[in-house]
Amino acid sequence: MKLLYWILFVFASSQAFAQQPQNAIQRAQQRTYTMVTLPQPGELLTLQQAISQSIEKNYQIQINRSQEQVARNNYTKGNAGYLPSLTFNGTSNGGLQNFRQTFIDNIRPPQEARGIFNRTSNLGINLNYTVFNGYARRSLYAQLQQLLQISTVNTRANVEATMASVATSYYDVVRQLQRLIAFSQALDISRERLDLARANYEVGTRSKVDFLSAQVDYNTDSAALLSQEQSLRNAKIILNTLLVRDPQTEFSVRDTIVARPNLQLAPLQQSLTTNNPQLAAAILNRNVVDLNVQLASALQLPLVTAQTGYNYQFQDNQGGFGIATGRTGALTYNIVASIPIFNGYNLKRQIQNARVNNIIAKDQENDQRLQLQSAMAQTYHIYQNSLKLLNLEVQNNQLANQNVDIAYDRYRIGNSNFVEFRNVQRNAIDAQTRLIEAEYNAKAAEIELLRLSSTITQDLGQ
């Protein structure tokens, strides 16, 4: 009976092999989806579309732009004290009176009245102007300009950081999708092995241990595939969050991960020095602190203010005594000059603190420059190392795939056991995973270099 099963198995296998590729690995690869053929739910999302949508809807960028508008509104000569202030004042006082009067000399008869209306109205317009305040308004106006520039570079820094986050997250989706394809291919190979082990066990050419081991490995690869599907969903949720839309939104990607191999450190460092918004903000902040020293020093100089105005007064007295009606107009002016002499050394303290803050701002600028240069150097070394690893992993992946072909053929004809084949299969999966990780790491380092050098808008925003 076993001989009959064996004959039927050989006949069925020969018929199947006549219609399909001889190697089961090739059949598994034909069944496995690629980045081009993989069915994905949702509309295609390109990297440029993702970046554009994120910059348009990102809440922090909107906040930065609103803050920039506030700084732009504050940057006026009036806010700096260059322009005079003009005010209008108007008051009107009145009342109803009842009175009864008798006189000591008894010459005049007593007087009595009810419902007497008295009114006094004052109208005035006043102009106030600071003639001289120790050049403080010049420093304040320059400071308002620096604050506007700081707000502008902060917005740019957030835009570039958002672009880098979106690009990295987008390629993470591609990475997780590639890993899903790799695990799917591994599962198909395990399915081929399970089918072979089952057929061999049924005809008695291999033991049940071999069949059960194939079943365990198939289940293990199935679990790995399910876990990878969850990783892909998580990556899409993160990207959807960056795009400020429903985290469950489905979308598809078609891009592969291709890292640029020709980035040079010297031009990147030069661009960092001249264009990086974080460094620019530190420099502008130091300028603001420098102006604080000038503002504190201006308090030592005289303050001259001038005031002029015109006041008009109208009186209406129906009481029958004193002035019945009256109108008065007056043009006034007032010039005040004050010179600080002594205020308990508080002015000296303010100037000293401003100078100390200036030293702090310079140290912060130098520290920011050093930190950015350090990040640039580290990221560039990661970038170079990732490219080297990528070249190695490309070769390793090719060799590992060839090894799987050979190992499966040896396993199929009985020249190796399931343990040897499983080890070869695991090595192939690991090689493919390392290749995907090397591609992603090189691309992530490239994106970070573009962000640090502030060239990411030109490279990814097109």
Reported as a single tens digit per residue, the pLDDT across 173-208 is 999 999 998 888 888 888 887 888 788 778 877 778
Mean pLDDT of 290-317: 89
Q: For residues 409 and 387, what is the distance between their CA atoms, to the nearest angstrom?
A: 34
> Residue for token digits 């109803």?
96
Q: For residues 361 and 365, what is the distance between their CA atoms, to the nearest angstrom?
A: 6
What topology is assigned to 20-112+135-301+344-460 in CATH?
A: Outer membrane efflux proteins (OEP) (1.20.1600)
Beta strands in 8-75 (DSSP E): 43-44
Nearest to 118 by CA among 329, 314, 328: 314
**What's the whole-number average pLDDT of the chain?**
85
Q: For residues 291 and 307, what is the distance between their CA atoms, to the nearest angstrom?
A: 28
Q: For residues 242 and 251, what is the distance between their CA atoms, to the nearest angstrom?
A: 14
Sheet-wide strand order for 303-317: 85-101, 111-132, 303-317, 325-338
Whether the CB-CB separation of 167 and 51 falls below 8 Å is answered with yes
Q: For residues 239 and 233, what is the distance between their CA atoms, to the nearest angstrom?
A: 10
| Tens-place pLDDT, residues 281-295 | 999 999 999 999 999
How much is the pLDDT for 336?
Answer: 92
Residue 390: CB atoms within 10 Å: 21
Nearest to 243 by CA among 74, 429, 47, 38: 47
Mean pLDDT of 78-98: 87
